[in-house]
Amino acid sequence: MRILVSLVAVVALYLLAWVGVGVLGLRTLFGTVLPYAALALFVCGVAYRVVRWAAVPVPFRIPTTCGQQRSLEWIKPSPLENPHTGLQAFLRMALEVLFFRSLLRNTKAEVRAGGRLIQGSSKWLWAGALAFHWCFLVVLVRHTRFFTEPVPWCVNLLAHLDGFLQVGVPAMTLSSVVLLGALGFLLARRLVTGQVRYISLPADYFPLFLLLSIVATGLLLRHVVRTDLSAVKEVAMGLVTFAPSPGEGAHWLFYVHLFFVSVLLAYFPFSKLMHMGGVFLSPTRNLANNNRAVRHINPWDYPVKVHTYEEYEGEFREKLKTAGIPLEKE
C-alpha cells in the first residue's frame, strides 16, 4: 500500500508531463514556469527550514562520544571520535558528511560451522548510501555544463574521467550507472529486508521512485532518444540568464526529465531529504565533548525550586546532632 501510493504518484507525474508537453505542447509551462517555481520553493524552503532549525537553541552540550576522551596526558585521545575542540568537531562532522562514518561502524562477528568466531562486517548500507550520494554529486556537477558557457575545465575533466570506460556513443558515464545501481539497491533493501520494510513510509519510497525516474529519463535522453543537446543547452542557458527559451528542438522526454527534477526540488524542503541540512545541526555530532573544560550556556535557563541546605538541616537537625555531624546552626 505504502509502496503503491508512491509508485502511482510518480507515474502520475510522468503522465502529467507527457500529456503537458508531448500532447498539449506546454513547453513554456514545463520548461520555464515550473522550474523557476520549483527552484524558488527549493531555495526559500531550504533556507526557511535551516533558519528555523538554527533558531532553536541548543540548551545542553550532548555529543555522543565514540572514542577515548581527552583527560590525562599519557592517555591517547581519539579526537575524531570524541572531539575536544571545535576544529576536531568540525573534522568529525566532515568524516560524517563526506564518508558516513557512523554507517561504517556496522561491524559484526559471525560464527561459522564449528563455532569459530569470525570478525566481519555489514557495510552494505554504507557502501550503497555512499555510492548513491557521491555519484549524485558527480552527475550534478556534470550537468553544470548545460548551465555554463564556456564550460569550466574541471567539469569537462570530470565528464571525461567519468566516461573513461568508453562504452557506447556517447560514452556511458560510470556515475550514472553506479547511481542507478545504488538507487536500485536502496530500494531493494527497503522492499526485501523485513525490518526496514516495516519502518518505511510512503515518504521513503516516493523520493526513491522519483530519483530512479530522473536517472532513467536522463539515461534514455542520452543514450536512446539522443535528444538535441544544443536545444537542451538553450533551455538551460535561458533559465540561468533569465532569458527563457522554449527550446523547440528538445525531445518531449527532456521536459519529463526536467519536470521530475522540478518536483524533486519543490518536494525537497518538505521532506526527509532535508537530512542534507539537518546533519550539520545535529547536537550529538557537531559539538565538542569539552563540557568539563568550557562551560556551555543554556539561553533559556531559569531558576528552579531546590531543597536548600538550610531546609535540610532544619528537618534533620536532631539526627545530624546525634550522629555527631557538624551543623551550621547549633
Q: Find the binding residues for other proteins in span 30-89 (CB under 8 A).
A: 49, 52-54, 56-62, 64-78, 81-82, 84
Is the C-alpha dihedral spanning 147, 148, 149, 153 positive or negative? negative
Cell numbers describing residue 11: 507515474
Within its chain, how far is the Cα of 314 from the centroid? 58
Q: Which of residues 134-193 bind other proteins (CB under 8 A)?
A: 189, 193
Within its chain, how far is the Cα of 94 from the centroid? 13
User: Contact letters (x/-) for other proteins, 99-118, by CB under 8 A?
Assistant: -x-xx-xxxxxxx---x-x-
Among 37, 125, 151, 171, binds other proteins (CB under 8 A): 125
Q: Which of residues 220-279 bind other proteins (CB under 8 A)?
A: 270, 272, 274-275, 278-279
Question: Given the complex with other proteins, which of 44 and 157 has the nearer CB atom?
Answer: 44
What are the Cα distances from residue 169, in Å, to 1, 21, 135, 223? 41, 27, 21, 8
- Applying CB under 8 A, the span of 35-43, 168-176, 239-247, 280-288 interacting with other proteins comes to 280-288
Q: Which residues contact 233 (CB under 8 A, 6 or more apart)?
A: 146
Q: From the CB of 240, what's the least distance to other proteins, in Å? A: 30
Q: What is the DSSP string of 15-51?
A: HHHIIIIIIT--HHIIIIIHHHHHHHHHHHHHHHHHH
Q: From the CB of 217, what's the least distance to other proteins, in Å? A: 24
Among 88, 200, 227, 262, binds other proteins (CB under 8 A): 200
Kindly tell me the number of DSSP H helices and DSSP E strands found in the chain: 13, 2
Q: From the CB of 66, what's the least distance to other proteins, in Å? A: 4
d(CA 39, CA 268): 10
Q: From the CB of 274, what's the least distance to other proteins, in Å? A: 6
Q: From the CB of 122, what's the least distance to other proteins, in Å? A: 8
Total of chain residues touching other proteins, rule CB under 8 A: 102
Among 142, 145, 251, 285, binds other proteins (CB under 8 A): 285
Among 153, 242, 295, 329, binds other proteins (CB under 8 A): 295
Residue 27 near other proteins by CB under 8 A: no
Q: From the CB of 270, what's the least distance to other proteins, in Å? A: 6
Residue 284 near other proteins by CB under 8 A: yes
Q: From the CB of 137, what's the least distance to other proteins, in Å? A: 16
Within its chain, how far is the Cα of 22 from the centroid? 33
Locate the DSSP E strands across 97-207. Answer: 107-112, 116-121
Question: Given the complex with other proteins, which of 121 and 230 has the nearer CB atom?
Answer: 121
d(CA 164, CA 160): 6
Among 51, 169, 224, 304, binds other proteins (CB under 8 A): 304
Q: From the CB of 135, what's the least distance to other proteins, in Å? A: 17
- Amino acid identity, position 120: G
d(CA 138, CA 136): 5
> How many residues appear in the chain?
330
